[in-house]
């Protein structure tokens, strides 16, 4: 057998095998083709709701008395006597310490000298008044004496004021009633107007001081309630002061809140604070998981008549569960709350169990109505025949 005949036979065998491969399945299985129907994805929907959203920030604050006074001297001098110590309870006006200002005696002498001069001038005027009334003293001379008495009185009054100031400077008294939180001086210490002699906390509750950035301070106002936590115990505090000027040391805004039942909190200790930093009241919201982004732009899918619609929206404040929607949807829309890769604008979907029963009922009623209409039409056609 030639080589050419062998090639021809091999080609014929391959052709027969290929034909057999096509015909045998048809003979054994018939001509029935299996058709698989594509099922639309199932989604759940929710109605947008009006609610309030607020965001809280955790901060650290420092406990101090609700009312507190830092006592400083009015002048320079040496501490000669100390009347209290740290931890003492004092009343307003109680003597705290005595300072030798070296000027008390001098101002006292000045005041006494001015008093004597005034009294002498007044006595001389009284004598001259009798002579003046008798016509023995000229009008001009008498008026000069009157002016001297008035000047002497002014000098005496001014000297008394100076003496009282020096006396007040030397005797430091408590400006309020309360507890001496700290007393920083002792006998023979030299002090100046910049020296803090002691710190007195007023009677009553405690307060907490804390600092916040501009982002948070804009949402705080006096009268707001915040939560204070210490050792697992929560207390309510009310904001009493909100600074409108940045603290130079911290670069933040100082805020103070009163804690009525904070007497057990030690002055100077740190506590946790929870303040509402941002809030939106009675706004339209949807679950945060129903908001998607494309190129940084938010959008929401809504359901209607078996299809999806892609809605560009404007969003606002959001917490862990809900997001504010300012524009793009209404309370009547059905918002898709589930996600699949098959969602797109105009895609056909079905509703999952328990989702928008009202919509499902409407579709079922429409389907039943259509069936009844078709049945009536067939009966009418049969009667006509």
pLDDT, tens digit (0-9, with 9 covering 90-100), for 41-78: 889 999 999 999 988 888 999 998 877 889 998 878 88
Question: Do 175 and 235 sit in the same domain of this protein?
Answer: no
Question: Do 351 and 223 sit in the same domain of this protein?
Answer: yes
Question: Do 137 and 231 sit in the same domain of this protein?
Answer: no
Question: Do 99 and 212 sit in the same domain of this protein?
Answer: no
pLDDT > 70 in the chain, percent: 81
Q: How many CB atoms lie within 10 A of CB 285?
A: 23
Question: Do 50 and 108 sit in the same domain of this protein?
Answer: no
Residue 22 falls inside a structural domain: no
Q: How many CB atoms lie within 10 A of CB 376?
A: 10
Q: What CATH number should be reported for the domain holding residue 58? A: 2.40.30.170
User: Is residue 327 very low, low, confident or very high in pLDDT (cuts 50, 70, 90)?
Assistant: very high
Residue 118 falls inside a structural domain: yes
Token couple for 238: 């009310």
Residue 25 falls inside a structural domain: no
Alpha-carbon gap, residue 100 to 80, rounded angstroms: 6
Rounded average pLDDT over 193-222:
86
Question: Do 209 and 345 sit in the same domain of this protein?
Answer: yes
- How would you classify the pairing of strands 350-351 and 42-43? parallel
Structural domain boundaries enclosing 169:
69-191
Question: Do 269 and 169 sit in the same domain of this protein?
Answer: no
Question: Do 57 and 78 sit in the same domain of this protein?
Answer: no
Q: What is residue 7's predicted lDDT score, i.e. its pLDDT?
A: 53
Residue 198 falls inside a structural domain: no
Alpha-carbon gap, residue 338 to 344, rounded angstroms: 13
Q: What is residue 74's predicted lDDT score, i.e. its pLDDT?
A: 81
Considering only 217-231, 284-298, 329-343, 358-372, which range has the smallest mean pLDDT?
358-372
Domain count within the chain: 2
Question: Do 61 and 96 sit in the same domain of this protein?
Answer: no
Where does a domain end: 191, 221, 241?
Answer: 191
User: Is residue 326 very low, low, confident or very high in pLDDT (cuts 50, 70, 90)?
Assistant: very high
Rounded average pLDDT over 102-128:
84
Q: What is residue 272's predicted lDDT score, i.e. its pLDDT?
A: 93
Question: Do 149 and 246 sit in the same domain of this protein?
Answer: no
Residue 18 falls inside a structural domain: no
Mean pLDDT of the chain: 81
Question: Do 225 and 362 sit in the same domain of this protein?
Answer: yes
Residue 1 falls inside a structural domain: no
Question: Do 248 and 312 sit in the same domain of this protein?
Answer: yes
pLDDT at residue 357 greater than cutoff 50: no
Q: What is residue 8's predicted lDDT score, i.e. its pLDDT?
A: 53
Q: What is residue 381's predicted lDDT score, i.e. its pLDDT?
A: 43
Q: What is residue 30's predicted lDDT score, i.e. its pLDDT?
A: 47
Q: What is residue 15's predicted lDDT score, i.e. its pLDDT?
A: 53
Nearest to 215 by CA among 370, 8, 55, 38: 55
Cα dihedral 311/317/320/323 (nearest 10): -20
């Amino acid at each position: 057998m030639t080589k050419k005949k062998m090639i021809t036979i091999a080609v014929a065998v391959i052709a027969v095998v290929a034909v057999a491969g096509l015909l045998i399945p048809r003979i054994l299985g018939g001509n029935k083709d299996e058709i698989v129907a594509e099922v639309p994805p199932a989604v759940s929907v929710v109605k947008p709701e009006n609610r309030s959203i607020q965001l809280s920030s955790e901060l650290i604050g420092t406990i101090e008395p609700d009312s507190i006074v830092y006592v400083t001297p009015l002048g320079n001098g040496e501490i000669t006597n100390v009347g209290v110590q740290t931890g003492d309870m004092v009343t307003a006006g109680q003597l705290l310490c005595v300072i030798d200002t070296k000027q008390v005696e001098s101002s006292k002498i000045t005041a006494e000298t001015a008093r004597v001069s005034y009294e002498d001038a007044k006595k001389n005027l009284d004598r001259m008044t009798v002579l003046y009334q008798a016509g023995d003293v000229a009008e001009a001379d008498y008026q000069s004496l009157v002016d001297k008495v008035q000047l002497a009185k002014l000098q005496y009054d001014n000297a008394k004021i100076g003496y009282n100031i020096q006396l007040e400077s030397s005797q430091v008294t408590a400006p309020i009633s309360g507890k001496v939180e700290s007393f920083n001086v002792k006998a023979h210490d030299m002090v100046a107007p910049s020296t803090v002699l002691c710190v007195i906390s007023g009677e009553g509750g405690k307060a907490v001081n804390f600092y916040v950035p501009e982002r948070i301070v804009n949402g705080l106002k006096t009268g707001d309630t915040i939560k204070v936590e210490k050792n697992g115990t929560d207390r309510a505090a009310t904001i009493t002061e909100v600074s409108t000027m940045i603290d130079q040391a911290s670069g933040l805004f100082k805020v103070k809140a009163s804690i009525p039942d904070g007497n057990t909190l030690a002055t100077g200790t740190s506590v946790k604070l929870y303040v509402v930093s941002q809030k939106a009241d009675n706004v339209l919201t949807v679950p945060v998981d129903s908001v998607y982004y494309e190129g940084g732009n938010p959008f929401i899918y809504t359901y209607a008549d078996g299809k999806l619609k892609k809605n560009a929206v404007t969003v606002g404040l959001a917490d862990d569960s809900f997001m504010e929607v300012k524009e793009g949807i209404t309370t009547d829309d059905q918002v898709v709350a589930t996600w699949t890769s098959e969602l797109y604008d105009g895609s056909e979907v079905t509703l999952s169990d328990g989702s928008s029963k009202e919509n499902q009922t409407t579709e079922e009623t429409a389907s039943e109505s259509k069936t009844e209409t078709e049945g009536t039409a067939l009966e009418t056609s049969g009667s006509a025949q």
